[in-house]
Structure 1
Amino acid sequence: MNPIINSTFSANMALISNALAAYTYISDHPERAALFFVCGVCLGLFLTLFALVVQISCRTDCQPRQRPPAKKRARPADSSSDSSDSDSDWDTTSDLSARRHRRFERTLNMNVFTSAEELERAQRLEERERIIREIWMNGQPDIPGTRSLNRYY
């Protein structure tokens, strides 16, 4: 018999045998199989969420930086290499913090509302939540034996 056909046949038989063994195990232990399935789905969702968070947070920070053309400054001849290293470290950290600050300002200046109606609706909702919080804070009963500061606010 041909060895290629024989190895293919044995691989197919092993696959069928493993599938029947899995079916038998699942039919004998349905609760355990369901638990493994749910754990697998939860683990997959967690890993997907983690990958998404890493991608979003590293999108701007992990891109190669494009340095602006360096301005040539006249340095004194007696400056040591230690001072130039500390200057470059300071420039790198200040550049990173400046980029983060600019990104934060961009998110603050973004207009998330597409219309004036949505903005007004959001402001009304915020005002309602503030009123409800205030009513809740003022309406708490004073429990004897405890000193509640809610009545003073």
Structure 2
Amino acid sequence: MSSTKDMSLISSTLTAYTYISEHPERAALYFMCGVCVGLFLTLLALVVQISCRTDCKPRRRVDRKRPADSDSDSSDSDSDWDTASDLSARRQRRFERTLHTATFTSAEELERAQRLEERERIIREIWMNGQPDVPGTRSLNRYY
């Protein structure tokens, strides 16, 4: 029984060696494609893992009334991750607050900013309308 497995392994190895020696370019192409697919899958797994850490993790409310010595009970990696997610959540809230608050101190500054935005919009429209009619570029400019 074992000798038939050994013979089939040797036969398969010799067949693969013969194929590679007869078609070295194709074998190199298959090898490089395998390496590229492996790298792509590894990158995809890393991106999914990182995004799931931030998006899929249920958010726990930090109770400000609990004693300070209870922090030592949690593991270091969890506390580091909670600290990082708390910082990112604070940054996100701060960014959203600045979007919703008026940052102009006078009506003149607000009017000046509105005129500047209007000028930029007009310049963008002029630039988009002045582009040559090359197929593909005009449709792409509409999105940018």
Q: TM-score range by the shorter chain?
A: 0.3 to 0.5
What is the TM-score normalised by the length of structure 2? 0.42
- Whichever structure has more helix as a proportion of its residues is 2
Larger C-alpha radius of gyration, 1 or 2? 1
